[in-house]
Amino acid sequence: MLDALLDESLGSATPPDVTDDVVRRIQSDSVTTTGRQSYTARKQRSPLVPWLIAAVVLIGIGTSLIVALNNVPDNNNVEVAENQPDGAQNPDDKPNDGMIAETQIQSNANDSQDDIKLIGPNQGALENNVAINDMEPFEIPITETIALKENSIIIASINAQIESAWQDLDLEPSKYCQDEEWCRRTYLRLIGRVPTVDELESFLSYDDSARYESLVDLLLNDDRYTEEFSRHWSTVWTNALVGRRGGSEESLTNRAGLLKFMRDSFARGISFDQVAFELISATGNDDPTSDQYNGAANYILCLIGDDTTLITSRTSEVFLGQKLQCAQCHSHPGSKVAQNQFWEMDAFFAQTTTAQLNDGSTSLANVDYVGKSKSLENAESYFEQPTGEIRVAYPAFLGQKANINSGELAEFDRREWLAKLVRYSPLLAKSVVNRLWSHFFGFGFTQPIDDLGPHNPVSHPELFELLARQTMASEYDLRLTMKWIVLSDAFRRSSTFSPTNDFDSPEQGSSPLFSRYYTRQLQPEEVYQSLQVLAGIQRDPNAFRTQELAQRAWLGRFVQNMDTDEGNESNLFDGDIRQSLAMMNGELMQKVTDLDNNTTLGKIIRSEMENQAKLEHLFLAALSRKPTQQESTVVLDLVSDPSVDAVQVFQDIWWALLNSNEFILDH
């Protein structure tokens, strides 16, 4: 009967014309800032009582949620002529002056390097007859100084540009959500779990005018939340980089090592462009006990297999927002990404090698690469076109050719050079902003978020450009970008439709207008961390690996590899809500619903509170709201019956709340 009740109830903008400045200023610092923040066993339920309770609670919750829920490639290339590096270079160095070459219009982007006219260093600017728009997906590095604006100005700009789209469509946005709803979604998006009752009540005690920014600053910058913040965001980015299960089945990675590297980077406030540089250029060992240990090396160790194509694909997607995987076999039919661009990017990884050591660990290193012709000086790679023709490929960054083809590591460290190109590309900021915006709203400025280009229109191009430029101006301080987004007007909107915004439904394929908060299912990690808190399980910062293994074991019930070239995964948690709820009911759920003194339920039951207060605390802990009048009346009438075990009633209420769609949804 309970199952039956569950079934029923749970039923892109043009880059600025800086051509005259490119050669002269490509080496100069392109970003200055006006300041930067520092951071530092379930009991057996009786057959009748749970039926009545679940019917009341789930029907009530289901009703409230139903209301909320209803409510052919371009072959023109930009060539790059660059000075030969003098051995190892400082990671903070930008490409040297004179490394942007004269632009040439080529008849065939797949011609061999010998057929390409390369212009040497310091030989002029980009030719005037080349349209900047035709250079997509490549964007010229921004060489102008970008000043970091005040937070209030940026947030006001976000609001103004989103509201402008509403006005153009005569659209009335959804009303503001309740403060309790905003608090819940802010905790979920910023630190990956629901708030406790104490945290919720603390937020509500703030002055109305200051409570929103005060909570955001608390979660982003207070030492009490540093561990949870860094854990959550290291998980988000590690999942994007290598997936929940660590890439391919033949993965060499120590995933926990990569996760710890990301966690430490967020905890220390390392700029994200530096993180990207370290991940792409990393060398070292995956054994934490080794003197050569480098957690960042696990990114490439995870993705490398018989070749480096998966590394190329993932790097371009995550750090540049460019979906090059399709171009591995043929030119992208919908964009200007040509097949040669994939293999030219892949050539940056040609010096990469791995080795299994006697102690069982794996090392990642760079070695001299001689190419198919066994020539260090002209170390080429080859790829096959759909026509069967074999073409040559040398390192090139999204169409920017390098004038050095050497495979000698001391002369040209290809992977380090790629890391610098990524770090100083405007595409890095756009890719990061798009991914962050999608994290907070469920949809980015493009769909999908990792396929930027003229073939994939941006929903709010001016806003997208603003956030990308300000993220660069902040020196990739992602805490600031998060703050701007969470304090925006759009993030406060209810998930309930207004009378005129029913067409704002990106779930159905339309372009998002962000006039309402888009309801979505929690990620499995967010459910896990929320249940951990409700079970009273304390996190030990010194037991990171043990806790990570426990979470991975729990997640293993939902995630499996799909054995594709892209290293994709299947997440059963994204399927039917009823299926997800069924899979949740394991050992962890038993701990959460136990009457132990450390659990939320146990503390409430053993408190001196009246039954009304106990019921309110259960709802606040699970759903961040108080029960409705109808919910309160039915339950309190039930527990007042002397023949009914009140403790059993509250325990079953708790179980029903945690198994509701209102708990498992971010709304």
Distance between CA atoms of residues 514 and 494, nearest Å: 11
Does any domain span residue 620? yes
Does any domain span residue 628? yes
Does any domain span residue 300? no
Q: Is 432 helix (H, G, I), strand (E, B) or coil?
A: helix
Distance between CA atoms of residues 514 and 441, nearest Å: 8
Distance between CA atoms of residues 76 and 399, nearest Å: 8
Those residues of the chain that have pLDDT short of 70 are 1-143, 246-253, 332-335, 541-542, 560-583
DSSP string covering 157-201: HHHHHHHHHHHHTT-PPPPBPPHHHHHHHHHHHHHSSPPPHHHHH
User: How many domains does the structure of the chain reveal?
Assistant: 1
Does any domain span residue 256? no
pLDDT at 45: 41
Does any domain span residue 192? no
Does any domain span residue 210? no
pLDDT at 21: 42
pLDDT at 582: 64
pLDDT at 283: 98
Does any domain span residue 584? yes
Cite the beta strand spans of 549-621 per DSSP E. Answer: 559-561, 569-571
284-285 and 362-366 as β-strands: parallel, antiparallel, unpaired?
A: antiparallel
pLDDT at 444: 99
Does any domain span residue 574? yes
pTM of the model: 0.82
The phi and psi torsions of 384 (rounded to 5 degrees) equal -105, 130
Distance between CA atoms of residues 597 and 105, nearest Å: 73
pLDDT tens, position by position, 202-248: 999 999 889 999 999 999 999 999 999 999 999 999 999 998 876 44
354 close to 282: Cβ distance less than 8 angstroms: no
For 642, the domain range is 51-71+524-560+569-666
